């Protein structure tokens, strides 16, 4: 059993770190810094981003983001997601957890770095009304959709598979609006109701669509080039992500939510078992959170020493 567990751990780490053989240096750097960060222990953000359901949330976010033809065009035209999907994944993970667990300077710099990379992501796309429009990844409207899809995916996944969120859904949406503003989204929602209203607005205005390119991306998300050992578990997570989608988004993507296996087990239950298995193999606390706790403990100790000096 130990050898099987070690194999799973190795394959999972390869996937999340793009094959790094040691703990990435950027995680160690989170132990440095001059403040607790934008969030900190006990925050809704740490709770939502601290569980293994984030693996499933990432899949859900990618599916929803693909419904905006401008966001999809940026990925299809400029991303090497087919040639280097795990490199892109590792970069996204780095940004998410630097903003979540880094100090405020690290979080700000990480976001500026991503926005700098996005400056070259420009082109044209055909919108939901058949009109050709220019796009830029840093355009506030496209950045807003990406932020909304991410926030909604991580929140809904936490509500289904995670632990209770301190302050509830509104607290998470309000806190993570900081990340949105770091990425140029000045009107990021600050409550669950605002999140739902802004997402519904894209549907109501007819700005979303699913065409051949959308379905091509969805097929790739459904069957990425994972190690064979991980594929059955990933399929369960994909099905769980699909089951948690807004029914309108799911319909546009042409996806359905069948049961799993010959006895048609509920997909959410099966996804939960897989997520528990990931937690058993990798642990339930992200390494970035542990690094942040080291930083915060050091800062508290330095503060006490200054007070008694």
Percent of the chain, pLDDT > 90? Answer: 65
pLDDT at position 145, please?
A: 96
- pLDDT tens readout for residues 110-147: 999 999 989 988 999 898 888 999 988 889 889 999 99
- pLDDT tens readout for residues 259-287: 555 444 688 899 999 999 988 887 767 88
> Do 226 and 87 touch, CB atoms closer than 8 A?
no
Residue 300 phi, psi dihedral angles, 5° rounding: -65, -40
Q: Token pair for residue 123?
A: 């082109």
- pLDDT tens readout for residues 26-60: 999 999 999 999 999 999 999 999 989 999 999 99
The H or E element containing residue 113 is helix 104-118
Residue 20 has pLDDT above 70, yes or no: no
pLDDT at position 298, please?
A: 96
Number of domains in the chain: 1
Q: Which residues contact 56 (CB under 8 A, 6 or more apart)?
A: 157, 161, 237, 240, 241, 244, 271, 275
> Do 154 and 61 touch, CB atoms closer than 8 A?
yes
The H or E element containing residue 132 is strand 132-136
| Strongest mean pLDDT among 121-125, 151-155, 233-237 | 151-155
- pLDDT tens readout for residues 169-199: 999 999 999 999 999 999 999 999 999 999 9
pLDDT at position 1, please?
A: 47
Residue 2 has pLDDT above 60, yes or no: no
pLDDT at position 263, please?
A: 44
Q: Which one-letter DSSP state was computed for residue 230?
A: G
pLDDT at position 155, please?
A: 98
When pLDDT is averaged across residues 210-220 and rounded to a whole number, the result is 93
Q: Determine the distance from the C-alpha atom of residue 283 to the mean position of all C-alpha atoms in its chain, rounded to a whole number.
A: 19
Percent of the chain, pLDDT > 70? Answer: 89
Long-range pairs of 214-217 with CB within 8 A, sequence gap ≥ 24: 214/66, 214/67, 214/69, 214/72, 214/253, 215/253, 215/254, 217/66, 217/72, 217/75, 217/76
| Average pLDDT, rounded, for the chain | 89
Q: Which residues contact 230 (CB under 8 A, 6 or more apart)?
A: 8, 11, 12, 15
pLDDT greater at residue 88 or residue 267: 267
Q: What is the CA radius of gyration of the chain?
A: 20
d(CA 193, CA 218): 28
pLDDT at position 16, please?
A: 67
d(CA 129, CA 209): 9
Domain coverage including residue 151: 2-308
> Do 149 and 65 touch, CB atoms closer than 8 A?
yes
Grade residue 230 by pLDDT with cuts at 50, 70 and 90. Answer: confident
């Amino acid at each position: 059993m130990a050898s099987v567990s070690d194999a799973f751990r190795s394959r999972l780490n390869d996937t999340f770190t793009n094959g790094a053989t040691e703990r990435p240096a950027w995680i160690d750097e989170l132990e440095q810094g001059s403040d607790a960060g934008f969030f900190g222990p006990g925050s809704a953000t740490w709770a939502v981003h601290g569980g293994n359901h984030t693996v499933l949330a990432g899949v859900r976010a990618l599916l929803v983001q693909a419904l905006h033809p401008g966001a999809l065009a940026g990925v299809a035209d400029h991303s090497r997601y087919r040639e280097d999907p795990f490199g892109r994944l590792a970069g996204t993970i780095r940004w998410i957890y630097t903003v979540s667990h880094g100090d405020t300077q690290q979080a700000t710099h990480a976001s500026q770095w991503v926005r700098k990379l996005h400056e070259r992501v420009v082109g044209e796309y055909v919108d939901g009304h058949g009109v050709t429009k220019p796009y830029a990844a840093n355009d506030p409207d496209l950045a807003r959709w990406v932020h909304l899809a991410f926030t909604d995916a991580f929140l809904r996944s936490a509500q289904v598979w995670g632990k209770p969120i301190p302050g509830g859904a509104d607290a998470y949406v309000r806190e993570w609006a900081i990340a949105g503003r770091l990425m140029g989204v000045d009107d990021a929602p600050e409550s669950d109701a605002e999140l739902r209203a802004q997402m519904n607005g894209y549907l109501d205005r007819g700005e979303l669509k699913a065409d051949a390119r959308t379905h091509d991306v969805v097929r790739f998300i459904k069957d990425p080039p994972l190690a064979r050992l991980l594929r059955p578990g990933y399929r369960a997570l994909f099905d769980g992500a699909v089951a948690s989608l807004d029914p309108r988004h799911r319909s546009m993507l042409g996806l359905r939510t069948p049961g799993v296996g010959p006895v048609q087990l509920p997909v959410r239950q099966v996804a939960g078992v897989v997520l528990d298995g990931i937690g058993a193999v990798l642990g339930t606390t992200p390494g970035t959170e542990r690094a942040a706790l080291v930083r915060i403990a050091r800062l508290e100790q330095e503060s006490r020493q200054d007070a008694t000096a």
